[in-house]
Structure 1
Amino acid sequence: MELSIVLGFLVAVFLVSIVPGPDMLFIVANAAVGGRRAGVVAAAGMSTGLAVHTVAAALGLGALIQAAPQVLNGVRIAGAAFLLYLAYLTWRASRQEVGSVEPDVELPRRTLRRTYLLATLTNLANPKVILFFLAFVPQFLSTGAGSWPVTVQLLVLGAIFIAVGFPVDASAGLLAGSLTSKFLGAGGKVRRRLERVSAGVFAALAARLATDVR
């Protein structure tokens, strides 16, 4: 691969990464509820999803998606339902008094492992990520004599995308988590309000995903 192409891709990826989008909103929402570590773990989950998209593109699965666009509709609906589920869980948690346990309600623990899995699945379930990856990355492929195989180029570009995007997303998670930690000293009411804001973010992302028809 030519150095100029790689440098151009680095600049483009950085500009794309710093623009707030659904992934960053998801990371910030998790950081608002779980703190800095949850924000970083959510960013890692998003990067894992991008790694899967990279491998899928390298294996030629993009051709399957283009040949069967209804697949994206299924993914879009599943992603919206998944985000609504997260909104419900977060809202339900916000209704529980700090330090109290309702006998008839068993809330799932917000572990870091759970946060990571939810972030990964959210990224994978967003068809916009698939379409963006398939439209954006191929623009930086080389096809001339002596060029690397397309599969290798896609894997390298995907790795660069993750290497640039993860620090940006993780920084957003750390910042949101740090701000949240300062506010939590005011008591449980603040935490419940943050959880409700996070639930609203998840619901808004679900609505956007469900109504975004190409």
Structure 2
Amino acid sequence: MAWSTWWVYVLASVGLSLTPGPNSLLVLAHGALHGRRRTLWTIAGGALGFAAVIGLSMLGISALLRASADALTVLKWGGGAYLVWLGIQLWRAPPLQLDMPEIDGHKGLIRPSVMFRQGLLAAISNPKALLFYGAFLPQFLDAQRSLWLQYAVLAGTFGAIECVVEFGLASLAHRVRPWLRRVGRRFNQGCGVLFAVMGAALPLTG
């Protein structure tokens, strides 16, 4: 993977980490309820879950590349179209619901192992995540280089960015949640535009 491609991936990953999803909402809730230090367990579970989902996506991509030399081009354009579709869906989505209920019936602090498990399950339990990474990752792959070395770089980079962004959310949970509630649908629309632009532009970068 060229350095220029990696930097584009970094910028895209930052945008994705800021996009609302199950893990970001869970981190906001845990940060508000349990503090940023304890929420590191939730963040660690989510990072492991994302690494597993990215690995599964890479297995499918690798199998397709072994079957056809042109598969990466097909994946890039098909994945780009999928990202545009996701952007449209996010644009049309209702405002975020941030009034979080009690988590597993606990009113007080919950064990670190429970927080880790909840972060892990939030990352891997959504089948759309596997489809998303299957569409997103091919945009940055070089078929002439080791796919698994690229997997290590992509997964490590995204995991590090996700941890930093989510720790920021946990640290600012009391301030960020009211802000997200105020901006409502406009935040979803901004994120939808981000997805659509990535979907339209990234296949052209190769």
Q: What is the TM-score when the length of structure 2 is the normalising length?
A: 0.59
Identity rate, percent: 29
Matches within 5 A, 1:58-207: 58-60=58-60, 90=103, 92-94=105-107, 110-143=110-143, 147-176=144-173
1:169 and 1:179 map into 2 onto residues whose CA distance is 12
1:11-53 residue CA offsets vs partner (Å, 9 max, x unmatched): 1111111223221001111222222223222111111101111
In structure 2, the residue matched to 1:29 is: 29
Secondary structure of 2:20's match?
A: coil
- Counterpart for residue 185 of structure 2: none
Greater Rg by CA: 1
Shift of 1:114: 1.3
User: Can you list the C-alpha shifts for 1:60-91, whole angstroms capped at 9, x where unaligned?
Assistant: 38969xxxxxxxxxxxxxxxxxxxxxx88637
Counterpart secondary structure, 1:110: coil
Distance 1:53 1:155 in 2: 13
* CA separation of 1:89 and 1:175: change in aligned 2, threshold 3 A: closer
- Measured against aligned partners, the alpha-carbon deviations of 1:98-127 in whole angstroms (never above 9, x if no partner) come to 8xxxxxxxxxx7111210112102211111
Which runs of no fewer than 5 residues in structure 1 stay unpaired? Answer: 65-86, 99-108, 181-214
Would the aligned equivalents of 1:10 and 1:160 in 2 still touch at CA under 8 Å? yes
**Secondary structure at 2:119's aligned position in 1?**
helix
CA separation in 2, counterparts of 1:45 and 1:177?
22
**How many residue pairs were aligned?**
142
Structure 2 unmatched runs, 5+: 65-99, 178-206
Q: What amino acid does structure 1 have at the position aligned with 2:50?
A: L
Once the two structures are superposed, what CA deviation does each residue of 1:127-167 show, in whole Å capped at 9, x if it has no partner?
12211111111111113xxx312232223211111111110
Report the aligned-residue RMSD: 2.9
| CA 1:2–1:142: 2 relative to 1, 3 Å | same
Letter in 1 for 2:142: S
State the alpha-carbon separation in 1 of the partners of residues 151 and 111 from structure 2: 33
Letter in 2 for 1:161: F
1-structure distance, mates of 2:172, 2:57:
32
1:162 and 1:53 mapped to 2: Cα distance?
11
In the superposition, the TM-score normalised over structure 1's length comes to: 0.57
The DSSP-based 3-state class of the residue aligned with 1:90 is: coil
